[in-house]
């Protein structure tokens, strides 16, 4: 029977401050180092930073794109998936993950949080959405990854 690496969605703003992008990068890197795949919207900002972290950690990043062109993916996406669905692709990002980590973000991020809540996914939040009922608030990338490892252990873990 095939064993799949757990996928964790990293959601956040398509444009982000240096601080937000650094946090997203660290999350992507740490997830890769611990044997997790990431799934995200595949564009810029926090998504690109998370994919770069995963890339630097020799991980796999799946970018579920809003448009119909694979070339729209950021350069660090390992597996781009063009959907042509616009913002409706948010359901695919959430649906392909065991858990969701929100790194700040705007309304699109909030829609993904709502979809995750509706489908019973674990939601970990750093920043803006920490005060929402049903999310696990954390203060750092390391704390987010510790939470993922505790809730979704993997035998692929390399550290």
> C-alpha angle with apex 89: 83 to 92, nearest 5 degrees?
100
Q: What is the pLDDT of residues 111-126, one digit of tens each?
A: 999 999 999 999 999 9
Does residue 102 register a pLDDT over 70? yes
Residue ranges of the domains in the chain? 7-151
Count Cβ atoms within 10 A of the Cβ of residue 117 and give its class: 0-12 exposed, 13-18 middle, 19 or more buried. middle
| Per CATH, domain 7-151 is 3.40.50.450 | yes
- The pTM score is 0.94
In residues, how long is the chain? 159
pLDDT digits (tens, 9 = 90+) for 23-72: 999 999 999 999 999 999 999 999 999 999 999 999 999 999 999 999 99
């Amino acid at each position: 029977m095939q064993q799949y690496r757990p996928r964790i969605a990293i959601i956040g703003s398509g444009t982000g401050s240096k601080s937000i992008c650094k946090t997203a990068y660290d999350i992507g890197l740490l997830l890769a180092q611990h044997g997790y795949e990431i799934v995200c919207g595949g564009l810029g900002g926090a998504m690109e930073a998370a994919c770069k972290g995963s890339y630097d950690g020799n991980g796999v990043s799946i970018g579920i794109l809003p448009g119909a062109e694979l070339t729209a993916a950021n350069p660090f996406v390992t597996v781009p998936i063009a959907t042509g669905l616009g913002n409706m692709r948010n359901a695919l990002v959430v649906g392909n993950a065991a858990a969701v980590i929100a790194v700040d973000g705007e309304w699109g991020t909030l829609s993904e949080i709502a979809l995750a809540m509706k489908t019973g996914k674990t939601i970990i939040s750093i920043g803006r959405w920490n005060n929402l009922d049903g999310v696990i608030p954390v203060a750092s990338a390391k704390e987010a990854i510790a939470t993922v490892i505790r809730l979704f252990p993997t035998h692929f873990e390399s550290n």
